[in-house]
Structure 1
Amino acid sequence: MAALDDLRIRLDEIDGQIVRLYEERMKVCEEVGELKVKSWGRVLDRQRERNKLNDVASRVSNDFNRKGIQELYEQLMSMSRKLQYQQMVEAGALGRLPFIGIDSLEKDTARVVYQGVEGAYGQAAMLKFFGEGCNNFHVRTFRDAMEAIEDGAADYAVLPIENSSAGAVTEVYDLLVEFENYIVGETILPVRHTLAGLPGTDLNQIRRVYSKAEALMQTTRFLSDHPDWEQISVVNTAVAAKKILEDKDSTQAAVCSAYAAQVHGLSVLVDEINDDSNNSTRFIVVTNQKVFLKDASKISICFEVPHQSGSLYRLLSHFIYNDLNMSRIESRPVEGKSWEYRFFVDFDGNMGDAAVKNTIRGLREEAINLKILGNY
């Protein structure tokens, strides 16, 4: 039996040959890429790749090696494609991305819409981003807000996209796919829930508590200390505050922000009742124009993947290869396609960056229904 050191020497020799052959293979792939650039041909040829995988699998001696050689060649072909995507981008084959870079948003003259009523967290996020004097109005639903900017009734909409404890606002993700509206900004708002009621209300009087379902969930510990209180869900925390004012019933209270309590003339009965003291919500600023700030540093996209093993892994490898940091990935079911999913990805970058262009080129060829949701 050969000594371990001898076997390692043989492996080193084989690895040296593999490295040499890998570079030789990539050189040929580069020449293939040059021909594709001249003919503006597609990089990905799915049928040829399937044929190649079947061919190399037929040349090995057992099932274990068959699986391994197919995995190896999937990686080799993936690297070849990435090289050729880079060649295409450098030759201008990607073309201009359909977004226009701008220096700033027109905050002073913009008309802004938010979901909810006065006192809503959405209003607070809007004022934080656009300033106290912005021209604004509110609508009942997230869909109404998206329709307002699509129709031109508003220039921008401010919508929640995720909460640090409750997770994604799935309806907004779905609306980003449905509407041709795009993200141009974001702001993060700390969420500080209070229990608010009519002035002079005593906790012992309370029988019913109103709020948005997520806000009730985010204050479970406090509310569980009062098992006799009936918890009733409404569309918005500010709607809950408004109801308390309108009903003028001291047996009712609302879980809402201190700002909503102030707007609707309520007293804060108990402050800071969040389960998580670091709770916050990320809001996005959306418009119907394909624009992005020239100093933008985050990109949001969505895409579907082929319904086959390894599809998501191969697509995400474009971010790895181009050294782009993904900050979030979320999945949503694709309507009308059982057990198939659309993926939403946030990653660092600007649409002017070469690495971003390389990634977008690769994703466009290999993903299904790629959509750039915004650069902000």
Structure 2
Amino acid sequence: MDKKRSNDESCKLSLSVQNLGFEWNVNINYFNKHENESDGSDKEEYEEPKKKKIRKLNAAQKREEQKQEELRLRKIEQELIHIETNPQNADHFDRLVLANPNNSLIWIKYMACHLQATEVEKARAIAKKALSTIDSREEQEKLNVWTALLNLENLYGTKESFKETMDNALRSNDEYEVYKKILDLLAESNKIKELEEIVTKINRKFRDSIDAYFHCALVYFKLNKAGKARFILQKALSHLPIKSHVSMISRFALLENSRGSPEEAQTLFEHILTSYPSRIDVWSIYIDMLVKSDKVDLARHALERATIQKLAPKKMKSLFNKWMILEENHGNSEAVEKVKDSMKNYVNLVLKDKK
């Protein structure tokens, strides 16, 4: 019974396949039968295509084709130049970063392109791709991208994402450089509370660095917080070694003169020179500051006081030269003669002392 059913099913399958136009039972006679039919189609299928005839051009046609090719290449060059100078979309930037993988400026512009379209996640992804692409030896280029990513998180992220990015940046770069960047971007976004937390960290971690105190003071001056800046000076003088005090006060005085109170700056210099009258370098910085601030009379008076001291001839020569240059540039012939007379008097006193 089963054998009969199996034969019936095979018959049905054979019929169904035959109905579709196929012959199910194929033997060697089948190939002999259809050999002639297949020969023609195979020859047509595998016959090599005829070679195209080469078009012969005359001289004028050759010149025209060459001209068209030059125009095509020039157009491509212009498009590439336009993309480099003014990329407009992701495709343009992809081409640029592929050609310049270590150029942080291009990566940052790519981020900005997405941010302009309010695509924060895409901008964040570009930053991370840049950090994994830029050569590890290009430390400054990487720091630039880290700074851009920190700025992105500061403006568009959360406190948690900003802190995570900051921690990663500190691990991957010079800590002090990262803290400075963070301080600047917090000042730009006027986040005073967060800024003061970073100032505290910087002053604690880099308590022996003049530059660290100076940068914190600079940020406070930029925010019109002169009182806090002056407090930084006091903190610096309480932590720095005494040998660094003159340098710290001098740098702060210049900052005070340009961004705070010029009178306070003069007071700071006068304080230094009262304690260290032989510091020619400080006299020079003080004179230059006064001259640049159009306070020539004060500069002249300071030089007169400096040159009545009994200092080593080499130091006195430096002071007299500075005074002479001042009078030649800002004084008159009488003022120049006065400097010469002072120089002669000094020389006579030196000779007299030697006798």
TM-score (norm 1): 0.25
The structure whose residues are more often helix, as a share, is 2
The structure whose residues are more often strand, as a share, is 1
RCO comparison, higher one (Cα < 8 Å, 6+): 1
